[in-house]
Chains A and B, each alone.
Chain A
Amino acid sequence: MKKLSRTVQSLLVSSLSLPGFSELLAAESDPNEFQYRFTLYDEEPLPEGLLLDGSPDRYRIKSHQFRFKRELNERFTLTVEGIHESMSGSSPWFVKPDQQGNLLQVMSGATIEETRNEINLALGIEHKEIQHTLATGYSNENDYEAVSISYTGEYEQQNNHTTLSWGASYSDDRLSPTDALLFGRVERASRNTVSASFGLTRILNRNALIQSGVQLTHHDGYLSDPYKEMFINGGIFFDHRPEDRTAFAWSTRFRQYFVGTNSALHADYRYFNDDWGVDSHTLDLAWHLPIGERFELAPAIRYYSQSAADFYAPVITDGRTPSHWSSDYRLATYGAMRYRLSATWRAEIWSVSLNADIYNSRESLALSGPHFDTPALVDFWRISLGWQVHWQ
Chain B
Amino acid sequence: MTSKRLWTVCLLLSLIELSACAEVRPWERGRLAKPHMALDADPLLTGIDAHTFNSKEAASGGIGPAGGGCGCN
Closest-CB distance, A36 to chain B (whole angstroms): 8
- Say yes or no for A337: interface residue by CB 8 A criterion: no
Partner of B33, one of A25, A83, A378: A25
Cβ–Cβ contact A378 & B56, under 8 A? yes
Tell me the nearest residue of chain A to B27, going by C-beta.
Answer: A15
Given A3-B40, A203-B32, decide whether A152 and B64 contact each other with a Cβ distance below 8 A: yes
Closest-CB distance, B56 to chain A (whole angstroms): 6
Contact code string A219-259 (vs B, CB < 8 Å = 1, else 0) = 00000010100000000000000000011111101010101
Cβ–Cβ contact A202 & B35, under 8 A? no
Please tell me the size bucket of the interface on B: 35 or more
Q: In the complex, which residues of chain B have a beta carbon less than 8 angstroms from the beta carbon of A200?
A: 13, 16-17
Which residues from chain B sit less than 8 Å from chain A, CB to CB? 1, 5-6, 9, 12-13, 16-17, 19, 21-45, 47-48, 51-53, 56-73
A sample of 13 inter-chain contacts (CB < 8 A) reads A2-B39, A8-B29, A18-B30, A116-B70, A148-B68, A169-B66, A202-B16, A204-B22, A207-B31, A270-B61, A274-B58, A280-B57, A386-B45
Which residues from chain A sit less than 8 Å from chain B, CB to CB? 1-4, 8-9, 11-16, 18, 21, 24-25, 27-28, 35-37, 39, 41, 59, 63, 65-67, 81, 83, 91, 112, 116, 118, 120, 137-139, 141, 143-144, 146-148, 150-152, 160-162, 165, 167-169, 171, 173, 175, 191, 193, 195-197, 199-207, 209-215, 217, 225, 227, 246-251, 253, 255, 257, 259, 263-264, 270-276, 278, 280, 282, 288, 290, 296, 298, 304, 306, 309, 330-331, 336, 346, 353, 355, 378, 380, 382, 384, 386, 388
Give the top 5 A-B pairs by smallest Cβ distance, nearest first.
A144-B71, A249-B61, A148-B68, A169-B65, A146-B68
Interface contacts beyond A141-B71, A353-B45: sample of 20 additional A-B pairs, CB < 8 Å, sorted by A: A4-B32, A14-B26, A25-B30, A91-B73, A112-B73, A116-B70, A118-B68, A137-B68, A152-B64, A161-B24, A169-B65, A191-B69, A193-B66, A206-B24, A214-B13, A257-B31, A264-B34, A288-B36, A331-B58, A386-B44
